[in-house]
């Protein structure tokens, strides 16, 4: 049954229930979700994803994968990859990217400009793959290389342990069930200095019904 997150009275505001859940908010479904954000709806109770935001790194017929971008893991970057510590955006911690393959490390960086992200640019980091296009774009990088030669091109970095993964059709099923809202990412999102507040902020900036969802209490029974 589709999730209907806005029903009855919420925070004193009478709200009409959705007749049918639409994860895209009325926008056309994009051909790929790469570079988009998955925002957990209040229906998600899995502790790995409850009130979390995921940046999709890959999506296709083979399935999908992404990283949770608002869950600091408590381990300082310099304990594992000290060469990346000075480039890491505060909090300079290894984030918990998801429950799959927790021993794997994934890196995202935000570059100083589109010019350094261009193929062949001397300032482009090794393994660069664009995810969020912007004046200061965000993409994945190869954490196994020394970033020092291109450090001047990097204005923010975030490292993740593990990732979220979906088999073929699994993410589509979860979207239909009402587990995720799909919204556009802003380049500042993956390297936010306030990751814990990201869920509310991303929902609030969408306006309309999703802005109201941003005020959904952590424990509805206590509201």
Which pLDDT does position 219 carry in this prediction? 65
Residue 203: CATH number of its domain: 3.40.1740.10
Express each pLDDT in 201-222 by its tens digit: 999 999 998 999 999 887 665 5
Residues 6+ positions from 1 with CB-CB distance below 8 Å = none
Residue 1 domain-assigned (yes or no): no
Residue 154: CA count within 13 A, CB half-sphere: 26
Mean predicted lDDT score pLDDT of the chain: 89
Evaluate if pTM is beyond 0.85: yes
Q: Mean pLDDT throughout 2-27?
A: 49
Residue 129 domain-assigned (yes or no): yes
Express each pLDDT in 118-140 by its tens digit: 988 999 999 999 999 999 999 99
The answer to whether residue 148 scores a pLDDT higher than 70 is: yes
**Distance between CA atoms of residues 54 and 190, nearest Å:** 9
Residue 97 domain-assigned (yes or no): yes
Q: Total structural domains in the chain?
A: 1
User: Is the distance from CB of 212 to CB of 5 less than 8 angstroms?
Assistant: no
> 13 or 187, which is more confident?
187
> 104 or 15, which is more confident?
104
Residue 170 domain-assigned (yes or no): yes
**Distance between CA atoms of residues 66 and 108, nearest Å:** 11
CA distances from 171 to 2, 48, 143, 165 (A): 15, 15, 27, 9
Nearest in space to 189 (alpha carbons), one of 179, 200, 181: 200
Which pLDDT does position 7 carry in this prediction? 30
Residue 144 domain-assigned (yes or no): yes
Provide the H-helix boundaries in 102-191.
114-117, 170-177
Residue 51 domain-assigned (yes or no): yes
Can the peptide bond before residue 91 be classed as cis, meaning omega within 30 degrees of 0? yes
Domain that holds residue 72: 9-217
* Token pair belonging to 47: 């502790």
**Distance between CA atoms of residues 66 and 88, nearest Å:** 19
Which pLDDT does position 119 carry in this prediction? 84
Residue 222 domain-assigned (yes or no): no
CB-CB neighbours of 196 under 10 Å: 12
Q: Mean pLDDT throughout 15-36?
A: 77
User: Is the distance from CB of 159 to CB of 84 less than 8 angstroms?
Assistant: yes
Express each pLDDT in 57-101 by its tens digit: 999 999 999 999 999 999 999 999 999 999 999 999 999 999 999
Residue 181 domain-assigned (yes or no): yes
Quickly state the pLDDT bin for 18 (edges 50, 70, 90): very low
């Amino acid at each position: 049954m589709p999730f209907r997150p806005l029903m009855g009275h919420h925070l004193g505001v009478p709200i009409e229930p959705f007749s049918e859940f639409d994860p895209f908010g009325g926008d056309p479904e994009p051909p790929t979700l790469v570079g988009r954000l998955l925002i957990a709806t209040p229906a998600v109770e899995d502790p790995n994803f409850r009130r979390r935001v995921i940046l999709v790194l890959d999506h296709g017929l083979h399935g999908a994968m992404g990283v949770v971008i608002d869950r600091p893991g408590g381990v300082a970057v310099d304990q594992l990859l000290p060469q990346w510590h000075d480039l890491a955006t505060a909090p300079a911690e290894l984030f918990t990217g998801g429950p799959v393959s927790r021993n794997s490390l994934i890196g995202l960086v935000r570059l100083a400009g589109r010019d350094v992200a261009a193929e062949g640019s001397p300032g482009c980091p090794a393994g660069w793959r664009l995810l969020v296009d912007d004046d200061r774009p965000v993409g994945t990088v190869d954490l196994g290389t020394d970033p020092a030669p291109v450090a001047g091109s990097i204005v923010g970095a975030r490292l993740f342990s593990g990732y979220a993964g979906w088999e073929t059709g699994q993410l589509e099923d979860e979207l239909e069930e009402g587990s995720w809202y799909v919204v556009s990412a802003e380049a500042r999102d993956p390297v936010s200095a306030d990751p814990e507040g990201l869920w509310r902020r991303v929902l609030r900036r969408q306006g309309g019904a999703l802005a109201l969802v941003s005020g959904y209490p952590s424990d509805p029974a206590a509201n």
